[in-house]
Amino acid sequence: MTENLSLAKAINRGLQRAMHENDRVLLMGEDIGTLGGVFRVTEGLKTEFGENRVLDTPLAESGIVGTAIGLAMRGFRPVCEIQFDGFVYPAIDQIVSQLAKLTSRHQGDQSFPLVIRIPYGGHIGAIEHHQESPEAYFTHTSGLRVVSPATPNDGYHMIQQAIQSNDPVIFLEPKARYWPKSDVDTDGTPAPLHQSRVVRTGTDVTVVGHGAMVAMLLDAAEVAAGEGISLEVVDLRSLSPIDYDPILSSVEKTSRLIVAQEAPGSTSVGSEIAATVAERAFYYLEAPVIRVSGFDVPFPPAHLESLFLPDVDRILDAVDRARGY
């Protein structure tokens, strides 16, 4: 069955289905029960499943994740919501020092099926601590899987796949894409959780991104097409591990690569992709890999975010530079 849903509603439906299929799935977070979460992603689930499976927690991110780790050890599959990206840092010690290391510490004998949902990124005009892109902290940390859906269809399926994983998953939800609607095939066979995907074919330049950047890259590709330039757009979907095969195949065809992200560029996901493609596809490249990113400064106040975040013009400028070599 196909439904026209927003990303927020699609994730809600995915959580609902996962909870129906497995009574060991629990939701935890600040204001996720009665309120349904700040972005209403968990709206209605407390009414349907009760307060023992949809838990309103204290304002204590470290406590939320620490409690969830204990539940995962006891056979539950907890899904934690971090209310905003900038609020995850109090939980970093639990995530990095404990959760990410526990499977290795137990030599694989104990699994930790725990999902941490984090709304992230800009484009919503929010205040300090409410717009950040912390993905590099987690992709740098061995023992964590990190994914980010760019579409409602991926949101619906990927949240269920993340819950089914026996490893901890950081599930990054692009806030800017919560509301636009598109078709969701609720009965379709989803792509593997960690598979990158070409979402627009092209011949001149490969452009790669994740989360909210995918829609921006598609807009840039449409503008470029009007100028006779063909961009191939790749949606990463998974940030750790990264599926490089579609990226490398595309670069072999186009000989040029641009990586776009909202996060600052230094020591980032974009940096890793640029380095890996330079190592593995050097003889196919006819231009340096170009990164388009946020700047290496704290995420700015709302009225300055348009100067910080990559937009269509910055992407097209990078395309012109790549084609100029």
pLDDT at 134: 95
Domain ranges of the chain: 2-185, 197-323
pTM confidence score: 0.96
Q: What is the mean pLDDT of residues 42-53?
A: 97
* pLDDT tens string 51-81: 999 999 999 999 999 999 999 999 999 999 9
CB–CB of 35/177 below 8 Å? no
Q: What is the mean pLDDT of residues 103-120?
A: 92
* pLDDT tens string 252-294: 999 999 999 999 999 999 999 999 999 999 999 999 999 999 9
Tell me the average pLDDT of the chain.
96
**DSSP state letter for 190:** P
Does the pLDDT of residue 303 top 90, yes or no? no
Cα dihedral 27, 32, 35, 41 in deg (nearest 10): -90
Residues annotated as catalytic (active site), given as ranges: 130
Q: Which fold is adopted by the domain 2-185? A: Rossmann fold (3.40.50)
Token pair 């979907």: residue: 237
Decide if domain 197-323 falls under CATH 1.20.1440.120.
no
Q: Taken in order 136, 139, 144, 147, is the CA torsion positive or negative?
A: positive
Domains 2-185 and 197-323 share a fold: yes
Nearest Cα to 204, choosing from 243, 232, 226, 177? 232
